[in-house]
Structure 1
Amino acid sequence: MMYLSRDVLISLIKILSVIALAVVLFFVGLMIGYGGIGDGSPLHVFSRALWQHIFEFVQF
């Protein structure tokens, strides 16, 4: 069984916290950009139809 020292565990928690914070801020930014700056509802940014339209638009 592998033993994780306390320093390694603290470092891992810090890295995972930064990643989780980045993901949350990404989704908040999507909501602000689409709802606040754009003309749509902030929660509409999570709809499947919107993302299908975006992916169809950028495909060559």
Structure 2
Amino acid sequence: MNKSHGNKLLKTIALIILAVLILFVLGAMIGAVIGGGNILTPLMPSTWSHILQFSR
């Protein structure tokens, strides 16, 4: 495995992680609209702190 192959692999993994994060936020925004809320609610810091409280 040479250095350029490793760099290509890291770039691919980074792109996949970025795509997953973007799709997660878009899904949360769509879910907020379907639930009758504001589309920007998932982007508010208070929403994320609430989500993190559940994970603890």
- Give TM-score scaled by structure 2 length: 0.74
- Runs of 4+ in structure 1 displaced over 2 angstroms? 49-53
Aligned residues: 52
Aligned residue number for residue 23 of structure 2 = 25
Residue number among 34, 43, 48 corresponding to 1:46 in the alignment:
43
Partners of 1:44 and 1:8 in 2: CA distance: 39
**Unpaired runs of 5+ in structure 1?**
none
Q: Bigger radius of gyration, 1 or 2? A: 1
Task: Report the alpha carbon displacement of residue 32 of structure 1 after superposing the two structures with TM.
Answer: 0.3
2:32 alignment partner, SS class = helix
- Give TM-score scaled by structure 1 length: 0.70
Determine what percentage of the aligned residue pairs are the same residue.
25
